[in-house]
Structure 1
Amino acid sequence: MTNNPATGVLDRDGLSALIEVLAAQGRTVIGPTVRDGAIVLAEIGSADDLPFGWGSEVEAGRYRLVPRADGAVFAHTAGPQSWKTFLHPQREKLWSAERTPDGALSVTEDDPEQTSYAFLGVRPCDLRAITIQDRVLAGGRYPDRGYRERRTGAFLIAAECTEPGATCFCVSMGGGPAVDGSGFDLALTEVLDQGGHRFLVRVGSEAGRDALDGVPHAPADAETEYAARAAVDAARDRMGRAMPPVDLRTLMGESLEADRWDDVAARCLTCGNCTMVCPTCFCTTTEEVTDLTGDHAERWLRWDSCFDVAFSHLHGGPVRASARSRYRQWLTHKLSTWYEQFGSSGCVGCGRCVTWCPVGIDITEEAAALHDERAGRLRHEKQKETQR
């Protein structure tokens, strides 16, 4: 946890009141809820919609919803969605065109009314992912107008992690289970002990303070603060996975011809699941659709993936035709060349790509294998040099 002072304690009724206050402000409140055998992100109307008493068990290629006896609401790992689903939607209409009776063409830019979101339960890894997406889609010379408008009005309620999953590795990516710095309006830490079930609240913005002032809450007490800090600190030491403690940028740059790429290519289905569940992957393409008369056409923006063989198609065919080259592109961009474009890694250690890969490919295992191969190659070269 950060040194930001705690400003209050909410119980379940206070949490529900907070949802009601945000809805009364005209916001669409999105939070975790149980649906179709998973904890997903969807619109919620009250605290009753939250997954109290539900958790998740995850492993590479495996996700299971499990009941919890303690009634915790935020003791689950990342599900198949991230907040990217709402800030950077899978499909978005850009414009439509109509042919008028006199043969002229009328083009209308799509300008839908933007939803004012309130996101409840944003994990620290996802908070970092939103910050990365801000640089990618809201910054630079050509910002995404739709993303920037949706992001500008979003109210973020973070939830610190006290229950990391078997596929989590945020600490090794420079993050952690605590909400550090800024970028949130309110931050919650769930506490369950002899003092009851409650949420320590920290304020991160004036909008957050106004929202908290509008709901019943108790002053922050030392016992709750200590319990919250201890739970988050314990979570930091229970990460299920870790990246190898090396310079990943250098590792990727010196492993372009590694044999390991053939090994992973033999298992990879190039299905693109990892890019769909990743909270930072942002690639899109555009497509035009028309009606049968040819008098009406639309252009849509939709998600794309570097695992799609057509993603790198040029006039002579795809640049990356093999599974080896497509997986290598994804991993090296995520862990290395992302720095050159946006100044940080593109991975926040949420573990979704590991959990939701249908064949259980593990990004941390692949990075470790590349490191071992590189180390072996360097030792061999050193031995040859010594023998000369």
Structure 2
Amino acid sequence: MNDVSFLPHARLDDLIQLLLTQGFRVIGPRVRAGVIAYDTIDAATQLPWGWRDAQAPGRYRLEQTAGSRCFAWANGAQAIKPFLFAPREPLWQARRAAGCFEVQELVPPPRPLAFLGVRACDLAALAIHDRHFLGGLHPDPYYAARGEEMLLIAVNCTHPADTCFCAATGDGPQAAAGFDLALTELDDGFVAQAGSQEGRELMQALVLAPATPEQRAAASQAIGLAAAAQTRRLPAPERLRRLYQRLDHSRWEDVGARCLSCGNCTQVCPTCFCHREQDVPALEGEATVHERQWDSCFSAGHAWLHGYQVRPEIRQRYRQWLTHKLAGWQAQFGRSGCVGCGRCISWCPVGIDLTEEVEVLLAEAADGA
């Protein structure tokens, strides 16, 4: 079977209905509270048809246009991370019973999830999370349960935001791996490429015609233009590792004076996975629930070690985040923790741009210093 077909806009709802009949909960982008956010959908009409985004440091705005596309935007405030690594979830509960405690693990039941509209940068972030949560000797059962039956339909980006730099990190704008089906939107539909047997079976069930050479060329050109339109850059990985040689740079004081330590950057980041755990006792005193909640290395409690605050100053917290994200992760995962989505730039209340900060920090080290 041809692995590259054409899905007209008018047939997009057929794809969604097919996924629903197969038992999937379909998650797709919707306009909610002034942003594009992933949520449950059951019809193509719920997608953001004609919407565009305008992003800049500290700024995110949506605009309704007369356009005929539903993916003519870069990204929203969140990727698919909250659906797999829940912002807040119970891990286990303990209940008093006959003079002792009974402990019960609270692993969520698996439910098939089909994600529609996943961007290349977020697929790269998912691969990092899979390695973190599922690799090693002790896989995370909560993350594993949520992603056990998952189907990923990617959409190659053709309208990057001003804050995007996925081309510089090698993570976009075209999805290279990790998808079941990848779509590239044109004015009248999508060039669809299968990335797995499940994706091929979806295209076969929809009885799609092969994409014409002209459609394939238009899709390739749109992706190339999206890459060329990106102006922000990150240095190569070996240069990023030099951030650890710049721990006393005066720039940390400068960015620390601007940073609010609000943690917005870590909350919108598709790769951050810092969390804290706490016990929530029931009012009657007979039971307690142990839960996990997203945390941030910008919070004061995150660096609290046995009565001592390791990073009491904001400049130290920003330094920890930036050096770990871009340099320390390389030792852990073989790459930096940044996939170039630019969310941390857009959603920073004061518009701090990590690409600008890195450029200043490494400027004096450009010749090998």
TM-score range, shorter chain: over 0.9
Alpha-carbon deviations, 1:182-205, whole Å to 9, x = none? 21100000012xxxx110000011
TM-score normalized by structure 2?
A: 0.96
Task: Give the CA deviation at 1:153.
Answer: 1.3
What does 1:264-279 correspond to in 2, within 5 Å?
A: 264-279=255-270
1:216 deviates by 4.2
Contact 1:10 1:216 in 2 (8 A): no
Deviation at 1:215, TM superposition (A): 1.7
In the alignment, does 2:137 pair up with 1:132? no
For 1:43 and 1:293, how far apart are their aligned partners in 2? 36
The structure whose Rg is larger is: 1
Q: Which amino acid aligns with 1:214?
A: A
What is the CA deviation profile of residues 10-45 of structure 1, one whole-angstrom value per residue up to 9, with x for unaligned ones?
A: 112321111111111111111111111111111111
Distance, in Å, in 1 between the alignment partners of 2:326 and 2:227 is 22
**Which moves more between the two structures, 257-266 or 142-151?**
142-151
* Aligned match of 2:350: 359
Q: Name the SS for the 1:202 alignment partner.
A: strand
Structure 1 residues 179 and 329: alpha-carbon distance in aligned structure 2, compared to 1, 3 A threshold: same
The aligned residue for residue 247 of structure 2 is 256
Question: Which of 152, 155, 161 in structure 2 is aligned with 1:156?
Answer: 152
Tell me the residue number matched to 1:310.
301
State the match for 1:385 in structure 2: none
Deviates more, 1:51-60 or 1:134-143: 134-143
Is the 8 Å Cα contact of residues 14 and 216 (structure 1) preserved in structure 2? no
How do residues 3-22 of structure 1 correspond to structure 2 at under 5 angstroms? 6-22=3-19
Verify the 8 A CA contact 2:241 2:326 in the aligned structure 1: no
SS class of match (2:31):
strand
Decide which of 100, 106, 111 is 1:104's aligned counterpart.
100
The CA distance in 1 between the partners of 2:239 and 2:271, in whole Å, is 18
**1:25 counterpart residue number:** 22
Matches within 5 A, 1:1-388: 6-100=3-97, 102-180=98-176, 182-192=177-187, 197-244=188-235, 247-375=238-366, 378=369
Would you say the 8 A contact 2:120–2:174 is kept in 1?
yes
Counterpart of 2:83, as a letter, is F
- TM-score under structure 1 normalisation? 0.92
SS in 2 for 1:214: helix
**C-alpha distance in 1, partners of 2:277/2:43?**
37
Distance 1:266 1:105 in 2: 49
- Partner residue, 1:382: none
- What do the CA deviations read for 1:55-74 (whole angstroms, capped 9, x no partner)? 10000000000123322111
Contact kept, 8 Å, 2:162 with 2:230, in 1: the verdict is: yes
Residues 274-314 of structure 1, C-alpha deviations (whole Å, 9 max, x = no match): 00000000111110011223211010011111111110111
The runs of 5 or more residues in structure 2 that have no matched partner are none
Q: Distance between the aligned counterparts of 1:171 and 1:155, measured in 2?
A: 25
Distance 2:192 2:368 in 1: 51
Structure 1 moving runs of 4+ over 6 Å: none
Deviations 1:65-108 (Å, cap 9, x if unpaired)? 012332211111111111101011101111111112x3221111
Q: How much is the aligned-residue C-alpha RMSD, in angstroms?
A: 1.7
Q: Percent identity?
A: 46
Write the letter of the residue equivalent to 1:185: D
Gaps of at least 5 residues in structure 1 are 379-388
C-alpha distance after superposition, 1:219-249 (max 9, x if no partner): 2111110110111111110014212457343
- Output the CA distance in 1 between the equivalents of 2:209 and 2:170: 33
What is the aligned length? 369
**SS at the partner of 1:152?**
coil
Contact kept, 8 Å, 2:108 with 2:142, in 1: the verdict is no
